[in-house]
Amino acid sequence: MALVLFDTNILIDALKGYTPAIEELAYWDEPAISVITWMEVMAGTRDDYDEVLGFLNSFGFEVIHTNEAIMIASMEVRRMSIQMRHKVALPDAIIMGTALSCRATIVTRNKKDFFTPNVRIPYELTPIDPVEFINVDPPPGLSSSSEHLGDDFFELFAKTILGPPQG
């Protein structure tokens, strides 16, 4: 399976015990999170730092740190969002830039800020209490990243945003 980058909201939902989030996390063979997601989740802990860290470690997330390619992709995401008059917050731009640079699918509930073809919205929550799950889309049985995302998208992104290959 392909690399999958989880957004903060999915991890928070899983920490709350929401079944669709836990199932989504458990499904993927190569789960990853941006260092931004790690910081957002860990910053929200109170006295349960070790418990939350253990939870993250139990899924075997690769924590992807920023590098030059991620910085450039993130800057371009942020710049394009400002030009489109829908300013994506810098942390979300970095998460999206990370996914684009790594050719990963982003798994999130945030349809507003994550608008590229490499986004998977596995479920939505109703704004009522108790929370109800709507539009649940169980994890797919994918055999490759190109089957889900299409290499054309990444090639177009690489050519228009990142420029020609270096080296």
The 8 Å CB, 24+ separation contacts for 135-142 are 136/20, 138/23, 139/23, 139/24, 139/27, 139/28, 142/1, 142/2
**Distance, CA of 68 to CA of 150 (rounded, Å):** 24
Record the tokens describing residue 115, joined without a space: 């608008």
Predicted confidence (pLDDT) per residue in 82-126, tens digit:
888 888 999 999 999 999 999 999 999 998 888 778 899 999 988
Give the per-residue pLDDT at 148: 42
Q: Does the pTM of the predicted model rise above 0.95?
A: no
Reported confidence tier of residue 41, pLDDT bands at 50, 70, 90: very high
Instruction: From the options 3.40.50.1820, 3.40.50.1010, 3.30.70.2860, 3.40.50.261, give the CATH code of 4-162.
Output: 3.40.50.1010
- What is the residue extent of each domain of the chain? 4-162
